[in-house]
Amino acid sequence: MQIDWNVKTNWQKIKSHKLGNRMEVSESIQCPFCGQSFEVTIDTSVASQRFTTDCEVCCRPFEVVVECEPGEVLSVEVRT
């Protein structure tokens, strides 16, 4: 357990360093087709963004519209 924790910590440090800051935030979104909730990682350094993702369960693509402030997600909207 201790070893696993250390590996994870080191990985996060590397990731943060690479990005210059901790700008990536995990947000829970819900699939508009099957209703399954799952997490996506959002880069909050971009104030307004939209992207298409595939549901982890039913694999159907849908559009996600996100409003951000640096380090914080203000709103997440899911569109088909």
DSSP H or E segment with residue 41 = strand 37-43
The encoded tokens of residue 54 equal 């595939």
Q: How many residues bind Zn ion (CB under 5 A)?
A: 7
**Choice between 11 and 38, CB closer to Zn ion:** 38
With CB under 5 A as the contact rule, the residue among 14, 19, 34, 65 that binds Zn ion is 34
What DSSP designation does 35 have? Answer: -
Report if residue 31 touches Zn ion, rule: CB under 5 A.
Answer: yes
Scanning the structure block, which residue is given the tokens 């696993």? 4
Report if residue 33 touches Zn ion, rule: CB under 5 A.
Answer: yes
With CB under 5 A as the contact rule, the residue among 14, 58, 65, 74 that binds Zn ion is 58
With CB under 5 A as the contact rule, the residue among 14, 57, 65, 74 that binds Zn ion is 57
Separation in Å, CA 39 to CA 1, 17, 26, 30 = 24, 22, 6, 9
Catalog residues that contact Zn ion under the rule CB under 5 A. 31, 33-34, 36, 55, 57-58
